[in-house]
Structure formats: C-alpha cells, structure tokens
Amino acid sequence: MKLILLISLLTMNIGFAAGEKKEKIITEYKKYEKFNLGDLEVKGDLMAPGDITVKERARVRIDNTLYERQEYFDLIKNDFMNMR
C-alpha cells in the first residue's frame, strides 16, 4: 500500500514539473558600498609588525690588541744559552 502511494506521488510530481514554465531570475548587486577600514576588527594574534620601520643596529667595534715589543726576556735568556 505504502509502495503504491509513493509511486503515485512521484508520477504526479514529474507530470507537474514537465507542465511548469521556466521563470527568469535576475540578480542585482549593490552598485556602491563603503567600508570603514578603521572600524574593522580582526580577532586573533597579530603575526606581522605594526609598522615597517627598521631600527639601527648597534655597531660593535672590537679593538684587536696589536703586538708591540715591550720586553726582551726571551732574547736575554737565549743569549745566555748561546754562551760556551
């Protein structure tokens, strides 16, 4: 009985759809819309810096201690070892 009812319902719908005339749908968009970016709010963590300025890096000046002969102990001892 249920099956007969379902078949009759389906045949009715097909007959109705075949008989219906296609309606033309026209979609219209807004021609002008204004956004206030300042009012926009993004929720979540910020991943980029807020500005694009570059800070000057502190310049490190390493002074190399240059050798300047101040003493002669090595040569004095060498001379002694070089005696007969």
Partner 1 sequence: MKYLLLFILTTNAWGNPLMERAERFYQSQRESRDIFIARELYKLGFFFAASKFSSNYLINQGLIDEDDANIMHSLLIKTGTHFLLKDKINLGKEHKSFAWIKGQKLLMKNKYPEAETALKSLTEKDFFYGEAQMALGVIYSLQKKNDEALKYYELCRAHTQKTKELSIKHNKLIMYYDLLGQTCQIHQARLLSMKGEFDISIKKYEEIKKTSYIWPQTIMEKAWNYYHMQNYNQSLGMTVALKAPILVDYFSPEAEYLMALSYSKMCLYNDALSIISQYYSNYQTKAQELKTFIDTTKNFSYLEIIQDNEKQIALHPYIKSLLTRIKKQMKFNVELQHYLKAQLELTKLNAINRPSPLWAEVRTNLTQDIKFRGDNLNQMIRNFLVEFINDVFLNSARLFDLNLEIIAKQKDLIYQNQELASDRARGDENQIKKDPLIHYYLFNGEFWADEIGDYSFGLKSNCEIATPPVTAEGV
First to last CA, the chain: 136
By CB under 8 A, which span of 26-34, 41-49, 50-58, 75-83 interacts with partner 1?
Answer: 75-83
* Nearer CB in complex with partner 1: 51/71: 71
x/- site string to partner 1, residues 20 to 59, per CB under 8 A? ---------------------------------------x
Structure tokens at 10: 């389906």
